Structure 1
Amino acid sequence: MPSLFRRLAAGLAFALPLAVAAQPSADHHQHLFSPPIIDLIKPGPTGPQLLSADDLVGHLDKAGIRRAAVMSVAYMFGRPSRVIEDEYGKVKAENDWTAAQVARYPDRLRAFCGFNPLKDYALAELERCAAHKHLRHGIKMHFGNSDVQLDKPEHIARLKEVFRAANRHRMAIAIHLRASISLKRSYGEAQARAFLEQLMPLATDITVQVAHFAGAGPGYEDPPANEVMRVFAEAAARRDPNTRQLYFDVASIATPDITPEHAREMVQRIRMVGVDKVLYGSDAVTPTNMHPREAWAAFKALPLTKEEIERVATNVAPYLR
Protein backbone atom coordinates (compact mmCIF):
# COMPACT_ATOMS: atom_id res chain seq x y z
CA MET A 1 0.00 0.00 0.00
CA PRO A 2 2.71 2.56 0.88
CA SER A 3 4.45 1.73 -2.42
CA LEU A 4 1.22 2.32 -4.35
CA PHE A 5 0.69 5.60 -2.51
CA ARG A 6 4.19 6.78 -3.39
CA ARG A 7 3.66 5.93 -7.05
CA LEU A 8 0.34 7.80 -7.12
CA ALA A 9 1.87 10.78 -5.36
CA ALA A 10 4.83 10.84 -7.75
CA GLY A 11 2.49 10.71 -10.73
CA LEU A 12 0.40 13.55 -9.35
CA ALA A 13 3.48 15.65 -8.69
CA PHE A 14 4.55 15.17 -12.32
CA ALA A 15 1.11 15.94 -13.73
CA LEU A 16 0.25 18.90 -11.54
CA PRO A 17 2.53 21.51 -13.20
CA LEU A 18 1.01 20.59 -16.57
CA ALA A 19 -2.55 20.87 -15.28
CA VAL A 20 -2.08 24.24 -13.57
CA ALA A 21 -1.73 27.31 -15.80
CA ALA A 22 1.86 28.45 -15.44
CA GLN A 23 2.51 32.00 -14.27
CA PRO A 24 5.89 33.62 -14.91
CA SER A 25 8.26 33.89 -12.01
CA ALA A 26 9.52 37.22 -13.35
CA ASP A 27 8.92 39.90 -15.94
CA HIS A 28 12.35 40.67 -17.38
CA HIS A 29 11.42 43.81 -19.30
CA GLN A 30 9.55 46.65 -17.64
CA HIS A 31 9.84 50.45 -17.51
CA LEU A 32 8.67 53.28 -15.26
CA PHE A 33 7.92 56.80 -16.51
CA SER A 34 8.78 59.86 -14.42
CA PRO A 35 7.22 63.32 -14.75
CA PRO A 36 10.34 64.68 -16.54
CA ILE A 37 10.21 61.85 -19.09
CA ILE A 38 6.53 62.44 -19.79
CA ASP A 39 7.26 66.15 -20.18
CA LEU A 40 10.10 65.30 -22.57
CA ILE A 41 8.21 62.99 -24.92
CA LYS A 42 4.74 64.61 -24.58
CA PRO A 43 3.08 61.31 -25.51
CA GLY A 44 -0.58 62.32 -25.59
CA PRO A 45 -3.45 60.10 -24.42
CA THR A 46 -2.34 56.99 -26.36
CA GLY A 47 1.33 57.14 -25.38
CA PRO A 48 3.13 56.28 -22.14
CA GLN A 49 1.67 57.87 -19.01
CA LEU A 50 3.16 58.52 -15.58
CA LEU A 51 3.99 55.10 -14.15
CA SER A 52 5.38 54.47 -10.68
CA ALA A 53 6.59 51.37 -8.90
CA ASP A 54 3.24 51.20 -7.09
CA ASP A 55 1.45 51.11 -10.44
CA LEU A 56 3.77 48.45 -11.83
CA VAL A 57 3.47 46.18 -8.80
CA GLY A 58 -0.30 46.36 -9.13
CA HIS A 59 -0.06 45.11 -12.72
CA LEU A 60 2.37 42.37 -11.69
CA ASP A 61 0.00 41.24 -8.94
CA LYS A 62 -2.85 40.92 -11.45
CA ALA A 63 -0.64 38.64 -13.55
CA GLY A 64 0.59 36.59 -10.59
CA ILE A 65 4.18 37.70 -11.24
CA ARG A 66 6.45 38.13 -8.26
CA ARG A 67 9.51 39.97 -9.63
CA ALA A 68 10.48 42.33 -12.45
CA ALA A 69 13.48 44.00 -14.03
CA VAL A 70 12.88 47.74 -14.40
CA MET A 71 14.89 49.26 -17.25
CA SER A 72 15.55 52.96 -16.76
CA VAL A 73 14.60 55.08 -19.77
CA ALA A 74 17.24 57.73 -19.00
CA TYR A 75 18.71 57.07 -22.46
CA MET A 76 15.78 59.07 -23.88
CA PHE A 77 17.51 62.27 -22.80
CA GLY A 78 20.51 61.23 -24.93
CA ARG A 79 18.64 60.75 -28.20
CA PRO A 80 20.82 62.44 -30.86
CA SER A 81 17.91 64.36 -32.39
CA ARG A 82 17.24 66.16 -29.09
CA VAL A 83 19.05 69.17 -27.69
CA ILE A 84 18.80 68.91 -23.91
CA GLU A 85 20.12 71.48 -21.46
CA ASP A 86 22.22 69.76 -18.77
CA GLU A 87 21.66 66.44 -20.53
CA TYR A 88 23.90 64.37 -18.27
CA GLY A 89 22.29 65.89 -15.18
CA LYS A 90 18.89 64.78 -16.42
CA VAL A 91 20.20 61.29 -17.24
CA LYS A 92 21.54 60.93 -13.70
CA ALA A 93 18.31 62.25 -12.21
CA GLU A 94 16.20 59.77 -14.21
CA ASN A 95 18.37 56.84 -13.20
CA ASP A 96 18.21 57.95 -9.57
CA TRP A 97 14.41 58.35 -9.74
CA THR A 98 14.10 54.81 -11.11
CA ALA A 99 16.37 53.55 -8.33
CA ALA A 100 14.27 55.31 -5.68
CA GLN A 101 11.10 53.78 -7.08
CA VAL A 102 12.58 50.28 -7.12
CA ALA A 103 13.84 50.76 -3.57
CA ARG A 104 10.18 50.80 -2.45
CA TYR A 105 9.95 47.11 -3.40
CA PRO A 106 13.48 45.75 -2.95
CA ASP A 107 12.34 42.14 -2.79
CA ARG A 108 10.37 42.42 -6.04
CA LEU A 109 11.97 44.97 -8.37
CA ARG A 110 15.51 45.41 -9.67
CA ALA A 111 16.64 48.46 -11.63
CA PHE A 112 18.94 48.75 -14.64
CA CYS A 113 20.87 51.98 -15.28
CA GLY A 114 20.10 53.58 -18.67
CA PHE A 115 22.22 55.76 -20.96
CA ASN A 116 23.25 56.34 -24.57
CA PRO A 117 26.53 54.39 -24.90
CA LEU A 118 27.91 56.81 -27.51
CA LYS A 119 27.82 59.85 -25.23
CA ASP A 120 30.96 61.24 -23.62
CA TYR A 121 29.43 60.66 -20.19
CA ALA A 122 28.49 57.00 -20.83
CA LEU A 123 31.41 55.40 -19.01
CA ALA A 124 31.17 57.89 -16.14
CA GLU A 125 27.50 57.02 -15.67
CA LEU A 126 28.25 53.32 -15.81
CA GLU A 127 30.85 53.77 -13.06
CA ARG A 128 28.44 55.85 -10.98
CA CYS A 129 25.70 53.25 -11.34
CA ALA A 130 28.11 50.43 -10.51
CA ALA A 131 28.63 52.06 -7.10
CA HIS A 132 24.89 52.61 -6.51
CA LYS A 133 23.05 50.13 -4.30
CA HIS A 134 20.01 49.92 -6.56
CA LEU A 135 21.61 50.48 -9.99
CA ARG A 136 24.62 48.20 -9.78
CA HIS A 137 22.94 45.10 -11.18
CA GLY A 138 22.77 46.07 -14.84
CA ILE A 139 22.68 48.61 -17.65
CA LYS A 140 20.08 49.19 -20.33
CA MET A 141 20.95 50.46 -23.81
CA HIS A 142 18.50 51.27 -26.61
CA PHE A 143 20.35 51.15 -29.92
CA GLY A 144 17.40 52.50 -31.88
CA ASN A 145 16.81 55.50 -29.63
CA SER A 146 20.55 56.21 -29.38
CA ASP A 147 21.15 55.62 -33.11
CA VAL A 148 23.86 53.03 -32.48
CA GLN A 149 25.00 51.47 -35.76
CA LEU A 150 26.86 48.18 -35.55
CA ASP A 151 28.42 48.68 -38.99
CA LYS A 152 30.33 51.77 -37.81
CA PRO A 153 33.80 50.96 -36.41
CA GLU A 154 33.72 53.96 -34.09
CA HIS A 155 30.45 52.76 -32.58
CA ILE A 156 31.83 49.25 -32.08
CA ALA A 157 34.91 50.73 -30.41
CA ARG A 158 32.75 52.68 -27.98
CA LEU A 159 30.55 49.68 -27.25
CA LYS A 160 33.61 47.58 -26.51
CA GLU A 161 34.55 50.01 -23.76
CA VAL A 162 31.06 49.76 -22.29
CA PHE A 163 31.03 45.96 -22.48
CA ARG A 164 34.45 45.71 -20.82
CA ALA A 165 33.40 48.03 -17.99
CA ALA A 166 30.10 46.25 -17.45
CA ASN A 167 31.84 42.89 -17.35
CA ARG A 168 34.43 44.20 -14.90
CA HIS A 169 31.67 45.38 -12.55
CA ARG A 170 29.57 42.25 -13.14
CA MET A 171 26.67 44.35 -14.43
CA ALA A 172 24.25 42.54 -16.71
CA ILE A 173 23.50 44.19 -20.06
CA ALA A 174 20.03 44.51 -21.56
CA ILE A 175 19.89 45.84 -25.11
CA HIS A 176 17.16 46.98 -27.45
CA LEU A 177 19.31 45.86 -30.36
CA ARG A 178 16.98 46.86 -33.19
CA ALA A 179 18.58 49.69 -35.17
CA SER A 180 16.55 52.82 -35.79
CA ILE A 181 13.50 52.13 -37.94
CA SER A 182 12.63 55.78 -38.51
CA LEU A 183 16.16 56.53 -39.78
CA LYS A 184 16.21 53.32 -41.88
CA ARG A 185 19.51 52.12 -40.41
CA SER A 186 20.97 48.84 -41.66
CA TYR A 187 19.97 45.84 -39.59
CA GLY A 188 20.42 42.20 -40.52
CA GLU A 189 22.99 39.43 -40.75
CA ALA A 190 26.04 41.72 -40.84
CA GLN A 191 24.96 43.55 -37.68
CA ALA A 192 24.14 40.28 -35.90
CA ARG A 193 27.57 38.86 -36.69
CA ALA A 194 29.31 42.07 -35.58
CA PHE A 195 27.49 41.86 -32.27
CA LEU A 196 28.31 38.18 -31.78
CA GLU A 197 31.92 38.29 -32.91
CA GLN A 198 33.10 41.66 -31.62
CA LEU A 199 31.07 42.39 -28.49
CA MET A 200 29.95 39.10 -26.96
CA PRO A 201 33.53 37.85 -26.40
CA LEU A 202 33.88 40.73 -23.92
CA ALA A 203 30.89 39.59 -21.83
CA THR A 204 32.48 36.52 -20.33
CA ASP A 205 31.00 36.85 -16.84
CA ILE A 206 27.66 38.59 -17.29
CA THR A 207 24.22 38.06 -18.77
CA VAL A 208 23.55 39.85 -22.04
CA GLN A 209 19.82 40.13 -22.72
CA VAL A 210 18.63 40.96 -26.23
CA ALA A 211 15.23 42.61 -25.89
CA HIS A 212 12.13 41.94 -27.96
CA PHE A 213 13.62 38.84 -29.60
CA ALA A 214 15.98 41.23 -31.48
CA GLY A 215 13.04 43.29 -32.75
CA ALA A 216 11.16 46.32 -31.48
CA GLY A 217 7.58 45.20 -30.97
CA PRO A 218 4.75 45.17 -30.62
CA GLY A 219 4.31 42.23 -32.96
CA TYR A 220 6.54 39.75 -34.74
CA GLU A 221 6.40 41.12 -38.29
CA ASP A 222 9.87 42.67 -38.75
CA PRO A 223 11.95 40.95 -41.48
CA PRO A 224 15.30 42.54 -40.48
CA ALA A 225 14.80 41.50 -36.86
CA ASN A 226 13.83 37.99 -37.96
CA GLU A 227 17.07 37.81 -39.93
CA VAL A 228 19.06 38.83 -36.86
CA MET A 229 17.30 36.20 -34.76
CA ARG A 230 18.03 33.60 -37.43
CA VAL A 231 21.76 34.32 -37.08
CA PHE A 232 21.57 34.15 -33.29
CA ALA A 233 19.48 30.97 -33.30
CA GLU A 234 21.81 29.18 -35.72
CA ALA A 235 24.82 30.22 -33.65
CA ALA A 236 23.19 28.96 -30.47
CA ALA A 237 22.18 25.68 -32.11
CA ARG A 238 25.78 24.96 -33.10
CA ARG A 239 26.93 25.96 -29.59
CA ASP A 240 28.92 28.99 -30.66
CA PRO A 241 30.79 30.04 -27.49
CA ASN A 242 29.76 33.65 -28.14
CA THR A 243 26.17 32.70 -27.28
CA ARG A 244 27.03 31.20 -23.88
CA GLN A 245 25.98 34.35 -21.97
CA LEU A 246 23.30 35.43 -24.45
CA TYR A 247 19.62 35.48 -23.44
CA PHE A 248 16.52 36.73 -25.24
CA ASP A 249 13.40 38.36 -23.85
CA VAL A 250 10.12 38.07 -25.72
CA ALA A 251 8.60 41.38 -24.62
CA SER A 252 5.68 42.42 -26.87
CA ILE A 253 6.60 40.01 -29.70
CA ALA A 254 3.94 37.30 -29.26
CA THR A 255 0.59 39.04 -29.77
CA PRO A 256 -2.97 37.73 -30.08
CA ASP A 257 -2.96 38.46 -33.82
CA ILE A 258 0.34 36.75 -34.66
CA THR A 259 -0.07 34.66 -37.80
CA PRO A 260 0.23 30.86 -37.56
CA GLU A 261 3.31 31.02 -39.80
CA HIS A 262 5.06 33.57 -37.62
CA ALA A 263 4.04 31.68 -34.47
CA ARG A 264 5.66 28.52 -35.83
CA GLU A 265 8.80 30.44 -36.80
CA MET A 266 9.03 32.04 -33.37
CA VAL A 267 8.70 28.64 -31.71
CA GLN A 268 11.41 27.24 -33.98
CA ARG A 269 13.77 30.06 -32.95
CA ILE A 270 12.93 29.56 -29.28
CA ARG A 271 13.85 25.89 -29.56
CA MET A 272 17.07 26.65 -31.43
CA VAL A 273 18.34 29.15 -28.85
CA GLY A 274 17.07 26.85 -26.10
CA VAL A 275 14.07 27.43 -23.84
CA ASP A 276 16.44 27.98 -20.92
CA LYS A 277 17.72 31.14 -22.66
CA VAL A 278 14.27 32.64 -23.24
CA LEU A 279 13.08 35.19 -20.67
CA TYR A 280 9.49 36.30 -20.29
CA GLY A 281 8.94 40.05 -20.49
CA SER A 282 6.00 42.23 -21.40
CA ASP A 283 7.44 45.75 -21.88
CA ALA A 284 6.09 48.96 -20.39
CA VAL A 285 2.46 49.22 -19.34
CA THR A 286 1.05 51.79 -21.78
CA PRO A 287 -2.43 52.40 -23.23
CA THR A 288 -1.47 50.63 -26.46
CA ASN A 289 0.75 47.85 -25.11
CA MET A 290 -0.34 44.56 -23.58
CA HIS A 291 -0.24 44.45 -19.81
CA PRO A 292 1.76 41.64 -18.16
CA ARG A 293 -1.24 39.33 -17.78
CA GLU A 294 -2.34 39.83 -21.40
CA ALA A 295 1.19 39.42 -22.74
CA TRP A 296 1.62 36.12 -20.89
CA ALA A 297 -1.68 34.83 -22.29
CA ALA A 298 -0.47 35.68 -25.81
CA PHE A 299 2.84 33.91 -25.22
CA LYS A 300 1.12 30.80 -23.86
CA ALA A 301 -0.94 30.62 -27.06
CA LEU A 302 2.19 29.89 -29.11
CA PRO A 303 2.45 26.25 -30.29
CA LEU A 304 4.94 25.34 -27.57
CA THR A 305 4.58 22.23 -25.45
CA LYS A 306 3.28 22.55 -21.90
CA GLU A 307 6.73 21.60 -20.66
CA GLU A 308 8.34 24.39 -22.72
CA ILE A 309 5.86 26.98 -21.46
CA GLU A 310 6.47 25.83 -17.90
CA ARG A 311 10.22 26.17 -18.42
CA VAL A 312 9.98 29.72 -19.76
CA ALA A 313 7.64 30.59 -16.89
CA THR A 314 10.20 29.47 -14.33
CA ASN A 315 13.24 31.00 -16.04
CA VAL A 316 14.80 33.73 -13.93
CA ALA A 317 17.85 35.60 -15.22
CA PRO A 318 20.95 35.46 -13.00
CA TYR A 319 20.66 39.18 -12.17
CA LEU A 320 17.26 38.61 -10.51
CA ARG A 321 18.26 35.62 -8.41
Structure 2
Amino acid sequence: MIDKAQFSSHLYHPKFWLLWLGVAFMRLTQILPLKWQMKLGSAIGSLAMKLLGSRVNTAERNLTLCFPDMPEQQRQQLLKRNFQETGKAIFDTVNAWWWSDEKVQRHMKIEGKHHVEQTLQAGNGVILFAVHCLPLEMGARIFGQFQPGVGVYRPHNNPVMEYLQVKGRLRSNKALVPKRDVRQMVRCLRNPDVIWYTADQDFGRSSATFIPFYAVPDAATITGATTLAKLGRAKVLPFVVVRNDDDSGYTIKIEAPLDNFPGEDEIQDAIRGNKIIESIIDQKREQYMWLHRRFKTRPEKDAPSLYK
Protein backbone atom coordinates (compact mmCIF):
# COMPACT_ATOMS: atom_id res chain seq x y z
CA MET A 1 0.00 0.00 0.00
CA ILE A 2 1.37 3.40 -0.99
CA ASP A 3 0.75 6.25 1.46
CA LYS A 4 3.46 8.68 0.35
CA ALA A 5 4.82 9.90 -2.98
CA GLN A 6 8.49 8.99 -3.28
CA PHE A 7 10.67 11.72 -4.79
CA SER A 8 14.26 11.25 -5.98
CA SER A 9 16.79 13.49 -7.68
CA HIS A 10 16.61 11.18 -10.70
CA LEU A 11 13.32 12.86 -11.57
CA TYR A 12 15.30 16.00 -12.48
CA HIS A 13 17.24 14.19 -15.20
CA PRO A 14 17.39 16.27 -18.42
CA LYS A 15 15.23 13.73 -20.24
CA PHE A 16 12.34 14.83 -18.02
CA TRP A 17 12.83 18.61 -18.35
CA LEU A 18 10.27 19.06 -21.10
CA LEU A 19 7.71 17.16 -19.04
CA TRP A 20 8.43 19.31 -15.98
CA LEU A 21 8.00 22.42 -18.15
CA GLY A 22 4.58 21.17 -19.21
CA VAL A 23 3.68 20.44 -15.59
CA ALA A 24 4.67 23.97 -14.57
CA PHE A 25 2.44 25.42 -17.28
CA MET A 26 -0.51 23.24 -16.27
CA ARG A 27 -0.08 24.24 -12.64
CA LEU A 28 -0.36 27.89 -13.68
CA THR A 29 -3.74 27.18 -15.29
CA GLN A 30 -5.23 26.34 -11.89
CA ILE A 31 -5.49 30.07 -11.17
CA LEU A 32 -7.98 30.46 -14.01
CA PRO A 33 -11.70 30.47 -13.19
CA LEU A 34 -13.19 27.02 -13.72
CA LYS A 35 -15.39 28.12 -16.63
CA TRP A 36 -12.36 29.58 -18.42
CA GLN A 37 -10.54 26.30 -17.92
CA MET A 38 -13.47 24.40 -19.38
CA LYS A 39 -13.64 26.65 -22.45
CA LEU A 40 -9.94 26.14 -23.03
CA GLY A 41 -10.32 22.40 -22.50
CA SER A 42 -13.18 22.21 -24.98
CA ALA A 43 -11.01 23.93 -27.59
CA ILE A 44 -8.14 21.53 -26.89
CA GLY A 45 -10.51 18.58 -27.28
CA SER A 46 -11.82 19.88 -30.60
CA LEU A 47 -8.26 20.30 -31.86
CA ALA A 48 -7.34 16.81 -30.68
CA MET A 49 -10.25 15.40 -32.66
CA LYS A 50 -8.68 16.81 -35.83
CA LEU A 51 -5.20 15.50 -35.02
CA LEU A 52 -5.69 12.12 -33.32
CA GLY A 53 -7.21 10.05 -36.09
CA SER A 54 -6.70 6.64 -34.47
CA ARG A 55 -8.31 7.75 -31.20
CA VAL A 56 -11.24 9.22 -33.10
CA ASN A 57 -11.67 5.91 -34.91
CA THR A 58 -11.61 3.99 -31.61
CA ALA A 59 -14.19 6.23 -29.96
CA GLU A 60 -16.41 6.24 -33.03
CA ARG A 61 -16.23 2.45 -33.26
CA ASN A 62 -17.13 2.06 -29.58
CA LEU A 63 -20.17 4.29 -30.02
CA THR A 64 -21.27 2.37 -33.12
CA LEU A 65 -20.91 -0.98 -31.34
CA CYS A 66 -22.70 0.16 -28.19
CA PHE A 67 -25.47 2.20 -29.85
CA PRO A 68 -26.13 0.65 -33.28
CA ASP A 69 -29.67 2.08 -33.40
CA MET A 70 -28.58 5.64 -32.66
CA PRO A 71 -29.03 7.91 -35.71
CA GLU A 72 -25.67 8.67 -37.34
CA GLN A 73 -26.02 12.42 -36.88
CA GLN A 74 -26.70 11.99 -33.18
CA ARG A 75 -23.73 9.65 -32.82
CA GLN A 76 -21.42 12.17 -34.52
CA GLN A 77 -22.66 14.88 -32.18
CA LEU A 78 -21.93 12.62 -29.20
CA LEU A 79 -18.45 11.89 -30.58
CA LYS A 80 -17.70 15.61 -30.95
CA ARG A 81 -18.93 16.40 -27.45
CA ASN A 82 -16.92 13.50 -26.05
CA PHE A 83 -13.69 14.95 -27.42
CA GLN A 84 -14.57 18.35 -26.02
CA GLU A 85 -15.23 16.78 -22.63
CA THR A 86 -11.95 14.87 -22.90
CA GLY A 87 -10.13 18.19 -23.32
CA LYS A 88 -11.87 19.51 -20.22
CA ALA A 89 -10.68 16.44 -18.29
CA ILE A 90 -7.12 17.80 -18.49
CA PHE A 91 -8.20 20.56 -16.14
CA ASP A 92 -10.22 18.17 -13.97
CA THR A 93 -6.91 16.44 -13.23
CA VAL A 94 -5.06 19.74 -12.70
CA ASN A 95 -7.72 20.83 -10.23
CA ALA A 96 -7.88 17.47 -8.45
CA TRP A 97 -4.13 17.41 -7.91
CA TRP A 98 -3.46 21.06 -7.04
CA TRP A 99 -6.58 22.92 -5.91
CA SER A 100 -6.74 23.71 -2.20
CA ASP A 101 -9.36 21.89 -0.11
CA GLU A 102 -11.26 25.16 0.29
CA LYS A 103 -11.44 25.67 -3.47
CA VAL A 104 -12.55 22.08 -4.04
CA GLN A 105 -15.33 22.53 -1.52
CA ARG A 106 -16.60 25.65 -3.31
CA HIS A 107 -17.12 23.64 -6.49
CA MET A 108 -18.54 20.37 -5.23
CA LYS A 109 -21.79 18.73 -4.24
CA ILE A 110 -22.14 15.30 -2.66
CA GLU A 111 -25.34 13.27 -2.56
CA GLY A 112 -25.72 10.03 -0.61
CA LYS A 113 -22.97 10.45 2.02
CA HIS A 114 -25.17 8.66 4.54
CA HIS A 115 -24.94 5.41 2.57
CA VAL A 116 -21.18 5.33 3.14
CA GLU A 117 -21.42 6.35 6.79
CA GLN A 118 -24.08 3.77 7.61
CA THR A 119 -22.19 0.98 5.86
CA LEU A 120 -18.97 1.71 7.73
CA GLN A 121 -20.79 2.08 11.05
CA ALA A 122 -22.27 -1.38 10.50
CA GLY A 123 -18.73 -2.77 10.29
CA ASN A 124 -18.65 -3.37 6.52
CA GLY A 125 -16.08 -2.14 4.06
CA VAL A 126 -17.25 -0.01 1.14
CA ILE A 127 -16.52 -0.73 -2.51
CA LEU A 128 -17.31 2.36 -4.55
CA PHE A 129 -18.35 0.83 -7.87
CA ALA A 130 -17.22 3.49 -10.35
CA VAL A 131 -16.53 3.84 -14.08
CA HIS A 132 -13.77 5.53 -16.06
CA CYS A 133 -15.62 8.76 -16.51
CA LEU A 134 -13.58 11.78 -17.51
CA PRO A 135 -13.89 13.72 -14.19
CA LEU A 136 -13.01 10.66 -12.06
CA GLU A 137 -9.83 12.28 -10.66
CA MET A 138 -11.88 15.12 -9.26
CA GLY A 139 -14.45 12.64 -7.98
CA ALA A 140 -11.85 10.95 -5.81
CA ARG A 141 -10.55 14.28 -4.52
CA ILE A 142 -14.06 15.44 -3.64
CA PHE A 143 -14.99 12.19 -1.93
CA GLY A 144 -11.90 12.44 0.27
CA GLN A 145 -13.14 15.75 1.62
CA PHE A 146 -15.62 13.90 3.83
CA GLN A 147 -14.36 10.29 3.91
CA PRO A 148 -10.74 9.64 2.92
CA GLY A 149 -10.39 6.24 1.30
CA VAL A 150 -8.03 4.02 -0.69
CA GLY A 151 -7.68 4.20 -4.45
CA VAL A 152 -7.01 1.23 -6.71
CA TYR A 153 -4.71 2.37 -9.50
CA ARG A 154 -2.29 1.38 -12.25
CA PRO A 155 1.26 2.61 -11.60
CA HIS A 156 2.44 4.95 -14.37
CA ASN A 157 5.33 3.86 -16.58
CA ASN A 158 6.87 7.35 -16.48
CA PRO A 159 8.48 7.97 -13.04
CA VAL A 160 7.65 11.69 -13.05
CA MET A 161 4.00 11.03 -13.83
CA GLU A 162 3.98 8.27 -11.22
CA TYR A 163 5.26 10.71 -8.60
CA LEU A 164 2.75 13.37 -9.61
CA GLN A 165 -0.27 11.09 -9.69
CA VAL A 166 0.52 9.50 -6.34
CA LYS A 167 1.14 12.90 -4.72
CA GLY A 168 -2.00 14.35 -6.34
CA ARG A 169 -4.25 11.44 -5.43
CA LEU A 170 -3.10 11.47 -1.83
CA ARG A 171 -4.13 15.12 -1.38
CA SER A 172 -7.31 14.04 0.38
CA ASN A 173 -7.14 10.26 0.59
CA LYS A 174 -5.29 7.69 2.66
CA ALA A 175 -3.42 5.47 0.26
CA LEU A 176 -3.20 3.81 -3.15
CA VAL A 177 -3.11 0.11 -3.95
CA PRO A 178 -1.84 -1.29 -7.28
CA LYS A 179 -4.72 -2.90 -9.13
CA ARG A 180 -3.22 -6.41 -8.94
CA ASP A 181 -2.72 -6.35 -5.17
CA VAL A 182 -5.97 -8.06 -4.21
CA ARG A 183 -4.67 -9.11 -0.81
CA GLN A 184 -4.10 -5.49 0.24
CA MET A 185 -7.53 -4.48 -1.06
CA VAL A 186 -9.12 -7.16 1.11
CA ARG A 187 -7.18 -5.96 4.16
CA CYS A 188 -8.42 -2.42 3.58
CA LEU A 189 -12.02 -3.54 3.28
CA ARG A 190 -11.85 -5.62 6.45
CA ASN A 191 -10.44 -2.62 8.35
CA PRO A 192 -13.23 -1.51 7.42
CA ASP A 193 -12.38 1.12 4.85
CA VAL A 194 -13.42 2.54 1.48
CA ILE A 195 -11.87 1.62 -1.87
CA TRP A 196 -12.62 2.71 -5.43
CA TYR A 197 -13.13 -0.09 -7.91
CA THR A 198 -13.74 -0.01 -11.68
CA ALA A 199 -14.71 -2.95 -13.87
CA ASP A 200 -15.58 -1.21 -17.12
CA GLN A 201 -12.38 -1.69 -19.13
CA ASP A 202 -10.86 -4.60 -21.05
CA PHE A 203 -8.12 -6.14 -18.87
CA GLY A 204 -7.34 -9.05 -21.18
CA ARG A 205 -8.31 -12.67 -21.51
CA SER A 206 -6.76 -14.22 -18.38
CA SER A 207 -9.23 -12.73 -15.90
CA ALA A 208 -12.22 -12.16 -18.17
CA THR A 209 -15.64 -13.57 -18.70
CA PHE A 210 -17.51 -12.64 -21.89
CA ILE A 211 -20.89 -11.10 -21.22
CA PRO A 212 -23.10 -8.34 -22.68
CA PHE A 213 -22.15 -4.68 -22.47
CA TYR A 214 -24.66 -2.41 -24.22
CA ALA A 215 -25.23 -3.99 -27.66
CA VAL A 216 -22.01 -6.03 -27.65
CA PRO A 217 -22.96 -9.58 -26.55
CA ASP A 218 -19.47 -10.77 -25.58
CA ALA A 219 -17.45 -7.99 -23.93
CA ALA A 220 -14.46 -9.11 -21.84
CA THR A 221 -15.41 -8.31 -18.24
CA ILE A 222 -13.68 -8.96 -14.93
CA THR A 223 -15.52 -10.44 -11.94
CA GLY A 224 -13.34 -8.94 -9.24
CA ALA A 225 -16.15 -7.11 -7.46
CA THR A 226 -17.64 -10.42 -6.37
CA THR A 227 -14.30 -11.66 -5.05
CA LEU A 228 -13.56 -8.43 -3.17
CA ALA A 229 -17.04 -8.23 -1.66
CA LYS A 230 -16.84 -11.83 -0.41
CA LEU A 231 -13.29 -11.81 0.91
CA GLY A 232 -13.49 -8.24 2.24
CA ARG A 233 -16.95 -8.67 3.80
CA ALA A 234 -17.86 -5.45 2.00
CA LYS A 235 -20.86 -3.77 0.44
CA VAL A 236 -20.88 -2.46 -3.12
CA LEU A 237 -22.15 1.11 -3.62
CA PRO A 238 -22.55 2.57 -7.14
CA PHE A 239 -20.55 5.80 -7.41
CA VAL A 240 -21.21 8.56 -9.95
CA VAL A 241 -19.27 11.77 -10.58
CA VAL A 242 -20.27 14.26 -13.26
CA ARG A 243 -19.12 17.67 -14.36
CA ASN A 244 -22.13 19.99 -14.12
CA ASP A 245 -23.82 21.04 -17.38
CA ASP A 246 -22.89 24.68 -16.86
CA ASP A 247 -19.25 23.81 -15.99
CA SER A 248 -19.69 25.41 -12.57
CA GLY A 249 -18.40 22.42 -10.62
CA TYR A 250 -18.84 18.74 -9.92
CA THR A 251 -21.52 16.51 -8.42
CA ILE A 252 -21.01 13.13 -6.75
CA LYS A 253 -23.86 10.69 -6.25
CA ILE A 254 -23.43 7.66 -4.00
CA GLU A 255 -26.20 5.10 -4.19
CA ALA A 256 -27.40 2.61 -1.58
CA PRO A 257 -25.53 -0.70 -1.16
CA LEU A 258 -26.57 -3.32 -3.68
CA ASP A 259 -28.98 -5.92 -2.33
CA ASN A 260 -27.93 -9.58 -2.55
CA PHE A 261 -24.44 -8.78 -3.79
CA PRO A 262 -22.40 -10.84 -4.06
CA GLY A 263 -24.79 -13.51 -5.23
CA GLU A 264 -24.39 -17.22 -5.82
CA ASP A 265 -22.96 -16.83 -9.34
CA GLU A 266 -20.11 -14.45 -10.16
CA ILE A 267 -21.14 -14.39 -13.83
CA GLN A 268 -24.60 -13.16 -12.91
CA ASP A 269 -22.97 -10.61 -10.59
CA ALA A 270 -20.84 -9.37 -13.50
CA ILE A 271 -23.88 -9.13 -15.79
CA ARG A 272 -25.62 -7.11 -13.09
CA GLY A 273 -22.50 -4.99 -12.70
CA ASN A 274 -22.41 -4.18 -16.41
CA LYS A 275 -26.02 -3.03 -16.25
CA ILE A 276 -25.10 -0.72 -13.39
CA ILE A 277 -22.11 0.57 -15.35
CA GLU A 278 -24.41 1.31 -18.30
CA SER A 279 -26.80 3.21 -16.04
CA ILE A 280 -23.91 5.31 -14.69
CA ILE A 281 -22.57 6.07 -18.17
CA ASP A 282 -26.04 6.95 -19.46
CA GLN A 283 -26.28 9.82 -16.99
CA LYS A 284 -23.57 11.66 -18.99
CA ARG A 285 -22.57 9.63 -22.02
CA GLU A 286 -20.40 12.41 -23.35
CA GLN A 287 -18.29 12.32 -20.15
CA TYR A 288 -17.27 8.66 -20.49
CA MET A 289 -13.83 7.50 -21.65
CA TRP A 290 -14.85 6.19 -25.07
CA LEU A 291 -11.25 6.44 -26.33
CA HIS A 292 -10.37 3.14 -24.62
CA ARG A 293 -10.49 0.00 -26.82
CA ARG A 294 -13.16 -1.60 -24.67
CA PHE A 295 -13.72 -4.60 -26.96
CA LYS A 296 -10.16 -5.46 -28.03
CA THR A 297 -10.23 -8.95 -26.45
CA ARG A 298 -12.46 -11.40 -28.32
CA PRO A 299 -13.87 -14.71 -27.02
CA GLU A 300 -11.91 -16.65 -29.65
CA LYS A 301 -8.20 -15.86 -29.93
CA ASP A 302 -8.28 -15.96 -33.72
CA ALA A 303 -11.44 -13.86 -34.07
CA PRO A 304 -10.99 -10.67 -36.12
CA SER A 305 -10.62 -7.41 -34.22
CA LEU A 306 -13.67 -5.21 -33.90
CA TYR A 307 -11.42 -2.22 -34.52
CA LYS A 308 -10.32 -3.05 -38.07
| TM-score over 0.5 (shorter chain) | no
Using the size of structure 2 for normalisation, the TM-score is 0.32
More strand by share: 2
Using the size of structure 1 for normalisation, the TM-score is 0.31
